[in-house]
Amino acid sequence: MATRSARKKTARKPRYHHGDLRQTLLEASLALIAEEGFAALSLREVARRAGVTHAAPYRHFVDKEALLGAVAEQGFRAMTTRMKERMGRETTPEGRLRACSVAYVLFAMEHPSHFRVMFGPHFTRPPLDLATSPGGDTNSFGLLLDSLTEAQKTGVIHEGDPQQLALTCWSLVHGLASLLVDRQLEPSGISTVAQAEALAEEQTRLLMRGLARST
């Protein structure tokens, strides 16, 4: 008959199978990055946190980079959804362009670990569904480009190469999002999501003035 301590040891043994193993591993990765940074991330540690065997993550990911790629892909899809939702409330091309930009900043503030993975320097192979990949409204850069092109057609934005103008918009928005995620603006009193939203609104208004067609 097994002793009580032996039964406890058996009960705590990591499992190989898991209900939704892939999603559990992604969540464990994000939690680990948020708490300890990228340096602490390994498939072994992610498995330990997820309560599965060390071999279990390899059912879905060949290595750590593949795991981070899946986290990044999840982030890009979630960010695109966030942008679409906010843009859907607007009725003008200018409003949709501003909403697209503000939603990008808010996603970064609300999901900093995702954001850091999505744009981090840890990939030798770009993750699927990167912001700049083709696909129109299925990715974040496509949404921005479509919004800007629409604004050009209606005369809100001046003429020019839409790709270059979209890159200008992305550079400003991404720079602001990065400053907020890295808490560089806290000394200026910007620390909450509401404050970040107000700042993003103001910055995009200034951007729109620079892009406006001359009358």
pLDDT tens, residue by residue, 125-180 = 665 545 555 554 558 888 999 999 999 999 989 999 999 999 999 999 999 999 99
Helix (H, G, I), strand (E, B) or coil at 15: strand
Q: What is the pLDDT of residue 116?
A: 92
Nearest to 148 by CA among 202, 200, 204: 204
Would you give the distance in Å from CA 188 to the centre of its chain?
24
**Residue 7 within a domain:** no
Q: Torsions phi, psi of 102, nearest 5?
A: -65, -40
Query: What's the CATH code of the domain at 38?
Result: 1.10.10.60
What's the number of domains the chain is made of?
Answer: 2
Q: What is the pLDDT of residue 140?
A: 87
**Residue 32 within a domain:** yes
Q: What is the pLDDT of residue 13?
A: 52
Partners of 79 in the β-ladder: none
Q: What is the pLDDT of residue 7?
A: 43
pLDDT at 6 over 60: no
Separation between Cα atoms, residue 175 and residue 153, nearest integer Å: 27
Q: Does 34 share its domain with 83?
A: no
Q: What is the mean pLDDT of the chain?
A: 85
Q: What is the pLDDT of residue 133?
A: 53
Residue 57 DSSP code: G
- Domain containing residue 53: 15-61
pLDDT cut 70: percent of the chain above it: 84
Q: Does 190 share its domain with 111?
A: yes
Q: Scanning the structure block, which residue is given the tokens 């330990």?
A: 48
Tell me the pLDDT tens digit for each residue of 95-112.
Answer: 999 999 999 999 999 999
| Cα radius of gyration (the chain) | 21
Q: pTM, whole model, 2 decimals? A: 0.83
**Residue 10 within a domain:** no
Q: Does 166 share its domain with 105?
A: yes
SS3 content of the chain, % helix, strand, coil (to 5): 70, 0, 30
Q: What is the pLDDT of residue 5?
A: 47
How much is the average pLDDT of 75-98? 93
Q: Scanning the structure block, which residue is given the tokens 């992305």?
A: 170
Backbone conformation region of residue 189, classed left if phi is above 0, alpha if psi is from -120 to 50, else beta: left
pLDDT at 17 over 80: no
Q: What is the pLDDT of residue 11?
A: 44
Separation between Cα atoms, residue 180 and residue 177, nearest integer Å: 5
Separation between Cα atoms, residue 167 and residue 132, nearest integer Å: 10
